[in-house]
Structure 1
Amino acid sequence: MYRYILTDVFNKGTRTVGTKRHSKKLGHSRYQLGDHSPCPKGGLSRYQLGDYFPYCLAGHSRYHLGVHSPSYPVSRYSRYHLTRLYSNKAFPKMSVRVPLSCDFFFRQLFDRESCTYTYLLADTVDGEAVIIDPVLEMAERDAKLIEELGLRLKYAMNTHMHADHITGTGLLKKLIPGCQSLISKASGAQADKYVEAGDEVLFGRHRLEVRATPGHTNGCVTYVCHEQGLVFTGDALLIRGCGRTDFQEGNSETLYDSVHSQIFTLPDAFQVYPAHDYKGQTVSTVGEEKKYNPRLCKQLNEFVKIMENLNLPYPKMIDKAVPANKCCGMYDI
């Protein structure tokens, strides 16, 4: 048997695409993402964050997110996510997170002024990266981080044409030669590359599926990374909320259908990362939003009434942001 540095799915302890070393104790294996952990006696094995693989050790196993939990009996030669505690009684209302692969980089960034989240994703082997929903005032911060991490920015991309801040895509193109801007064709904004529903955005070996989710604007899209279980929803779906529908081609019925058909059909465990949050939350899940979103868990007619009676103020940046964002954020700045 062997000790493994996990980078893929293993087949009963006999195959690896990572690094393998002989184990001192015959009959047991040590598993951990990028490292090794002690293997106790008696058929128990210790696991931390990593991928999933067929269970090949006798007896029991310990599963939890980054820590060890009491052993729990499982069937031999079954497939389990490393991050799951295999007792349904432990966290009955929580979905099991899909673990990130060891060659996937993810960083969530924040702009305090507009409460905008920006996401940097990369292939750590290839070094190719994309950034989602960058903000003009934070572009130099983002460019510096990308340089420090030794990444090559392929795309500066948006989920839609924003009305509450000016995008940083244009400035990032100036700061990082070779970077291209990307947005949906239906947005009406200028960009180097346009995407539509069903397209894929590739960076290294990783990919984001493009799903059209109009309703907040006609050009809204959601980016889905199926392998990592990540969903970047822009303003279509927020944490316990959604984007407004009273300007920029907004339509409540369309938004409701978009979220229910394109986002709520994804696995419950997929993590939802929106473009904004105003209450300090950073992430949700598809399952949580299906159950607890106070607007979108309602019937369509109730949802429409809620949206019609929000009485939100006119966006203070819209008259400046929309013209600029039509030109990749480089208009009159």
Structure 2
Amino acid sequence: MATKFGLLLMGKLPKQQIRNYSSDTNKLVFRQLFDSVSSTYTYLLADPGTRECILIDPVLEHAKRDFQLTKDLNLNLVYAVNTHMHADHITGTGSLKLLSGCKSIISSRSGAQADIFVDEGDYITFGGHQLKVLSTPGHTSGCCSFYIAEQGMAFTGDALLIRGCGRTDFQEGSPELLYHSIHTKIFTLPDETLLYPAHDYKGQTVTSVDEEKRLNPRLTKTLEEFVHIMNNLNLSYPAQIDQALPANKVCGLYDVPEDLKNGL
């Protein structure tokens, strides 16, 4: 039988990772960090008992900031996780690997390199906490959301935004698939679940399943209406896509700043 360690070496998480820690699962260290250039949210989650933590959707320019925060809080960064292969910024995952020795995680369908690949039903474990992986493609083919049931929180990446959703006009995007992903994977979570997106452009920080089911101007429409909306957004070409995608395909190591290559 393969051990957990062996599974990690093979680059795949097992379907379930249960650890017998005495950690109180209702306790979670949580920080929401921001990049003003790309309006990206990075999330720090940690188990206060074991001190293990993860970062979700880190940004290259803030890798030192985020790593310093883990040190300030006396935490051990075990995973740097991406909800998908971003087109609007270079991930900080590669830099954080150099700084901390953490493992990188992304969807097996993302087209990007990583130490560990995840898919629907997998769990990302840190201390006594578990994030359940929900496959939510449509913005890109490799989008995932992450759900932590004990705290009633989900991290939706670019799939579902606050009163919006990710665009579907590049990276194998599909409005039909995105609509299905949101309605069957995110909107089926408990109504009180708090939703934390990868971006917000109006200064909002959090929403809920109930709010988006009632108030999202795109997702309250029929599938046909939603597809029409998404196919007629006429959005501009992403400013950083030509730099971001090549870098993000190699875990963000394509363009690591010199001052990060030797740590802090």
- Other-structure match for 2:12: none
Aligned counterpart for 1:320 among listed residues 243, 259, 263 = 243
What per-residue deviation string (whole Å, max 9, x for no partner) do you get for residues 243-277 of structure 1? 00000000000000000000000001000000000
CA drift of 1:325 comes to 0.2
**Distance apart, 1:206 and its partner CA:** 0.3
Question: Alpha-carbon deviation of 1:288?
Answer: 0.1
Matched with 1:126 is 50
Residue 126 of structure 1 aligns with an amino acid whose one-letter code is T
136, 142, 145: which is aligned to 1:213? Answer: 136
User: Any idea what SS the aligned residue of 2:242 has?
Assistant: helix
Which of 128, 149, 156 aligns to 1:233? It is 156
How far residue 300 of structure 1 moved from its aligned partner, in angstroms, is: 0.2
1:273 and 2:196 are equivalent in the alignment: yes
Once the two structures are superposed, residues 16-40 of structure 1 have per-residue CA deviations (whole angstroms, 9 ceiling, x without a partner) of x99xxxxxxxxxxxxxxxxxxxxxx
Residue 72 of structure 2: aligned partner: 148
Work out the CA distance in 2 between the residues paired with 1:130 and 1:203: 7
How far residue 129 of structure 1 moved from its aligned partner, in angstroms, is 0.4
- Write the distance in 1 (CA, Å) between the matches of 2:83 and 2:231: 24
Give the secondary structure class of the aligned counterpart of 1:186: coil
Please give the secondary structure, in 1, of the residue aligned with 2:228. helix
Distance of 2:220 and 2:74 partners within structure 1: 43
How many percent of aligned residue pairs carry the same amino acid? 63
Q: Following the alignment from structure 1 to structure 2, what is the Cα–Cα distance between the partners of residues 330 and 297?
A: 40
Give, as a single letter, the amino acid of the residue that structure 2 aligns with 1:118: T
Is it true that 1:289 corresponds to 2:212 in the alignment? yes
User: What residue in structure 1 maps to residue 174 of structure 2?
Assistant: 251
Runs of 4+ in 1 over 4 A off after TM superposition: none
Gaps of 5+ in 1: 1-16, 19-50, 52-99
Distance (whole Å) between structure 2 residues aligned to residue 215 and residue 158 of structure 1: 16
Q: Which residue of 1 aligns with 2:95?
A: 171
Larger-Rg structure: 1
Choose which of 185, 191, 197 in structure 2 pairs with 1:262.
185
Once the two structures are TM-superposed, the CA of residue 332 in structure 1 deviates from its matched residue by 3.9
Structure 2: how far apart are the matches of 1:168 and 1:198? 25
1:59 is matched with none
In the alignment, which residue of structure 2 is the partner of 1:84? none
How many angstroms does 1:281 deviate by?
Answer: 0.4
Q: Equivalent residue for 2:40?
A: 116
After TM superposition, the score normalised by the length of structure 2 is: 0.87
Deviation for aligned residue 1:198: 0.3
Q: Could you tell me how far 1:173 is from its partner in structure 2?
A: 0.7
Structure 2 residue 158 is the aligned partner of structure 1 residue 158: no
Q: Which fold has the larger relative contact order, with Cα–Cα distance below 8 Å and residues 6 or more apart in sequence?
A: 2
Which letter maps to 1:231?
Answer: A
What is the CA deviation profile of residues 160-205 of structure 1, one whole-angstrom value per residue up to 9, with x for unaligned ones? 000000000000011112x010001000100000001000000000
Query: What is the aligned partner in structure 2 of residue 242 from structure 1?
Result: 165
Please list every run of 5 or more consecutive structure 2 residues that lacks an aligned counterpart in the other structure.
Answer: 1-21, 257-264
Q: Secondary structure at the match of 1:321?
A: helix
Matches for 1:16-165 after TM superposition, within 5 Å: 101=26, 103-165=27-89
SS in 2 for 1:164: coil
Question: What is the CA deviation profile of residues 304-327 of structure 1, one whole-angstrom value per residue up to 9, with x for unaligned ones?
Answer: 010011110000100100000000
